[in-house]
Amino acid sequence: DTAVSQTPKYLVTQMGNDKSIKCEQNLGHDTMYWYKQDSKKFLKIMFSYNNKELIINETVPNRFSPKSPDKAHLNLHINSLELGDSAVYFCASSQPDLGAFFGQGTRLTVV
Amino acid sequence: GNSVTQMEGPVTLSEEAFLTINCTYTATGYPSLFWYVQYPGEGLQLLLKATKADDKGSNKGFEATYRKETTSFHLEKGSVQVSDSAVYFCALTVNTNAGKSTFGDGTTLTVKP
């Protein structure tokens, strides 16, 4: 059983399109996150939700909108995609002191 | 604020060499410390952790000791294998910060046969 699963794994799309990435965790964790990893492997937190409530919103363009329908799901919708949005996006979940559990990543390529 | 500084890479070693990847941190509050590993094409996996001073985390031959006096959590392995080639991330969390993890920039390790 996959603890944190995100879909799709690969996403190739044209500039200006709108796309969504879905994430689900079956670990019963209260907190879920979206991270962006650039080509140099730097990880940057984008959003954090705790029990469906947004608790962290880093400096991210408002074209990015997270949505958490329940504690086990945190989806990411991106409007008007730009070339600079190309990256690997990771979903993760955690409980205090347990560390974070990451999904396999979604490689987004905007052309 | 919280920050993690880890040794810049890339690091290239021969098989069976000794590995050290340095990690130091600053934190408001009392952090828990973690090392994650990312194999090519995969997500990050928790490698080991330590939640209080002088604790030693260990897994798969890797070790790191929480040193509060030097604010460090250096990763070590006595004898690396080709399969250890990956990107290693040091991270911390402080419970007062909603469990948010602060990551270092990652260190790429390549082990050659």
Tens digit of pLDDT for each residue in A9-33? Answer: 999 999 999 999 999 999 999 899 9
Give B51's contacts in chain A (Cβ within 8 Å).
97
A43 touching B (Cβ < 8 Å): yes
Find the radius of gyration of the CA atoms of chain A: 13
Whole-number Å distance between alpha carbons of A7 and A27: 17
**B94 pLDDT above the threshold of 90:** no
Contact present, A50 and A31 (Cβ < 8 Å): yes
- List, for residues B48-73, the tens digit of each pLDDT value: 999 999 999 999 999 999 999 999 99
- List, for residues A52-84, the tens digit of each pLDDT value: 888 877 778 999 999 999 999 999 999 999 999
Largest CA distance in chain B: 44
Contact present, B92 and B31 (Cβ < 8 Å): yes
Distance (Å) from the alpha carbon of A18 to chain B's nearest alpha carbon: 24
**B99 pLDDT above the threshold of 90:** no
Q: How many helices (H) and strands (E) does chain B have?
A: 0, 12
φ and ψ at residue B52, rounded to 5 degrees: -150, 165
The answer to which of A44-48, A107-111, B80-84 has the lowest mean pLDDT is A44-48
Give A104's contacts in chain B (Cβ within 8 Å).
42-43
Give B36's contacts in chain A (Cβ within 8 Å).
99-100, 102
User: Does A31 contact B43 at a Cβ distance shorter than 8 Å?
Assistant: no
Q: Where are the beta strands (DSSP E) in chain B?
A: 3-6, 11-14, 19-21, 23-26, 32-38, 44-50, 56-59, 62-65, 75-77, 86-93, 101-103, 107-112
Instruction: Give the confidence band of A1 by pLDDT, cuts at 50, 70, 90.
Output: low
End-to-end CA distance of chain B: 41
